Amino acid sequence: MATDHADQLEIASSEDVVRVRQRVREAAVSLGFSIVDQTKIVTAASELARNTYTYAGGGRFRLDVLSNGRRNGLRLVFEDDGPGIPDIEKALRDGFTTGNGLGMGLGGARRLVNEFEIDSRPGEGTRVTAVRWA
């Protein structure tokens, strides 16, 4: 699998969350994602970017264009140096929130993509990786 393009953004404000959405939308369109697949990956990106901003106070976003020879895909990586997620299973459960959200973001994002991984260490930070193939 080849990564032929990478794009990075700081997430330090609400506007940056909007920027992440726009970048992901543009990339999905240029890779020929269907409208439905565009919406899925943009929605996942939006939830994950919002979490990075809200729960970690910000972080970094990287967008990779993937190709496995037959299909193109997008990999989203959200990284922060925030408080971490002590219980990932619990955080993924629908309805679980430590804030004022609906608690649907992480579980929802996982269902909207093909590959999903959370790596988190309490006190150090969190990395969420999501891949959707066109």
Ligand X SMILES: Nc1ncnc2c1ncn2[C@@H]1O[C@H](COP(=O)(O)OP(=O)(O)O)[C@@H](O)[C@H]1O
Binding residues vs ligand X (CB under 6 A): 47, 51-52, 55-56, 80, 82-83, 85, 91, 96-99, 101-107, 126
Query: What, of ligand X, Mg ion, none, does residue 97 touch, CB below 5 to 8 Å by kind?
Result: ligand X
Distance of closest approach, residue 93 Cβ to ligand X, in angstroms = 8
- 24: closest CA among 61, 50, 79, 56? 61
Distance of closest approach, residue 8 Cβ to ligand X, in angstroms = 17
Distance of closest approach, residue 44 Cβ to ligand X, in angstroms = 11
Contact 16, 10 (CB under 8 A): yes
- 109: closest CA among 6, 24, 14? 24
Instruction: Quickly count helices (H) and strands (E) in the chain.
Output: 4, 5
Q: Is residue 105 at the binding interface for Mg ion, with CB under 5 A as the rule?
A: yes
Nearer to Mg ion, 33 or 55 (CB): 55
